[in-house]
Amino acid sequence: MKTQNNKNITKMKIPNLCPLCNGPLSLITGKPKDITFRKENFKVFESYYKCDSCGEELIDNTLGDKNIHQVYNQYREKYKILFPSEITSLRNKYGLTKNKMSLALGWGENTYSNYEKGAIPNESHNSILRLIEDPIQFLKLIEYREDLFSKSELKEIEKVADKQHNNNTLSKWIEELWPKRVGSDTGYVKPNFEKFINIILFFASKEKPYKTKLNKLLFYVDFEFYKNYIQSITGCRYVAIKYGPVPNDYDAIYSWLFMKKYIDIKENLEECGVTEKITNIREPDMNLFNEKEINIIEKIYHKFKNYKPSEISKYSHKEIGWIENKDSNGIIDYQKYAIFLQD
C-alpha cells in the first residue's frame, strides 16, 4: 500500500476502517496539490481518507478518479480539446451511432466510443472533431462515404445542416447570453440550455419559488453535482452579486422563458418591495437527466424546501466562491470553489 506522500498512489477499495490499524477514517477534501500530466503541472484540490489513529492517508477508485479528472479537465481547456459531453452531443446532433460515427471518420471501430467515455483525442482527431461541429463541413467530409449511410441518416444530417444555416436552434438573443465554450466557468461540460430550463421547471412545479431563491437552487444543483462528479449538469455560469450567487444574465433568461411560455412570472407587492414568483407553464421533462443528476436535483430541493428566500440567501453568503467574488460581481469558478461547498 502506498500513501499520499508518494508520487504514485495505489487505487484500492477503502473499507470502513483503516486496513493498517483498524482505526476510523475521515474524508479530507480541498487539499491543494500539483499533479504532473504530460510533463506539465496542474493544480487540483485533492480528496483522500486519513486514519484518525495512525495518520495513514488512503485513496479509493472514486476519489482517485475525481482527482485525475480535475487534471484532464484543465488539460482539455488549455489545449482546446473537446470534452466528452461535446463529443457525445456532436454525434447525437447527427443522429448516428458510435460505431457509424467512427466509420464515417475512418477511425477504428471503438475510437469514437472511447472518446465519449473520457479518452483524450490526439491532436489530429481533435482537429477533425472541431471541423465537423459545422454540419456543412461534415457533409463535405462524408461526401465520398455515402455508402456507409442509409437514406434516413443522410436526410437527418442534411436537416441538421439546414437548421444551423437558418439559425433556428435558439433565438439569436438567448444564444448571445448562453455560454458556448466549455471551461472551468461552465463546470467542464457542454452548456445545455434544455437541461437548465427543465431544472427551472422542476423547482417551479414543486414550490413556485421566488426568483431570489430559484437562483440559489440552480447554483447549488450545478455546484453540488460538480463537487461529487467533477462536472456540472447544465454548464451555466454563475456570478456573485449582492444577494448571493445567481445565473449569469438571469433576468434576460427568465424574460425569454416567459415570452416562450415556459414559465409565468407573478409580481407581488410586499413590505420589502416588489417580489417575483416563478410558476411553471410547461411540465419538466426529467427524462433528460440521468439517475445521478436527478438524485442531486432532488437532494437540493429537499435540503432547501423550507428555506425562505432571505434564509437561503444568507446561507449562500457563507460560500467561499461568493465571498471572494462578490466585490467584483465575478464569475464563480467551479474548479476553484465547488470542492469547498457547504455540506
pLDDT (tens digit per residue) in 203-213: 999 998 999 99
Grid cell for residue 54: 495512525
- What is the band of 21 on the pLDDT scale with cuts at 50, 70, 90? confident
Maximum separation of any 2 CA atoms in the chain, in Å: 69
Task: Say which residue, 148 or 196, is predicted with more confidence.
Answer: 196
Q: What is 1-79's CATH number?
A: 3.10.20
Q: Is the pLDDT of residue 247 over 50?
A: yes
Where do the domains of the chain lie?
1-79, 84-169, 174-340
Instruction: Write down the pLDDT at residue 13.
Output: 54
Q: Is the pLDDT of residue 199 over 90?
A: yes
Q: Is the pLDDT of residue 8 over 50?
A: no
Task: Say which residue, 215 or 30, is predicted with more confidence.
Answer: 215
Task: Say which residue, 165 or 77, is predicted with more confidence.
Answer: 77
Instruction: Among 53-57, 259-263, 320-324, name the most confident range.
Output: 320-324
Residue 273: CB atoms within 10 A of its CB come to 7
B/e letters for 176-198, b = 16+ CB within 10 Å, e = fewer, are ebbbeebbbbbbbbbbbbebbbb
Instruction: Write down the pLDDT at residue 96.
Output: 82
pTM score, whole prediction: 0.73
Instruction: Write down the pLDDT at residue 6.
Output: 36
Task: Say which residue, 309 or 150, is predicted with more confidence.
Answer: 309
CA 178 – CA 26 distance, rounded (Å)? 40
SS3 state at 61 = helix
Tell me what the pLDDT averaged over the chain comes to: 85
Q: Is the pLDDT of residue 3 over 50?
A: no
CA 182 – CA 84 distance, rounded (Å)? 11
Place of cell 450545478: 222
Task: Say which residue, 37 or 224, is predicted with more confidence.
Answer: 224
CA 95 – CA 239 distance, rounded (Å)? 35
pLDDT tens per residue, range 158-176: 777 666 655 444 556 666 6
Query: Where do runs of H (alpha helix) occur along 27-110?
Result: 61-78, 84-94, 98-105
pLDDT tens per residue, range 86-119: 999 888 888 888 888 888 888 877 888 889 988 8
User: Sheet containing 57-58: which strands, arranged edge to edge?
Assistant: 25-37, 40-51, 57-58
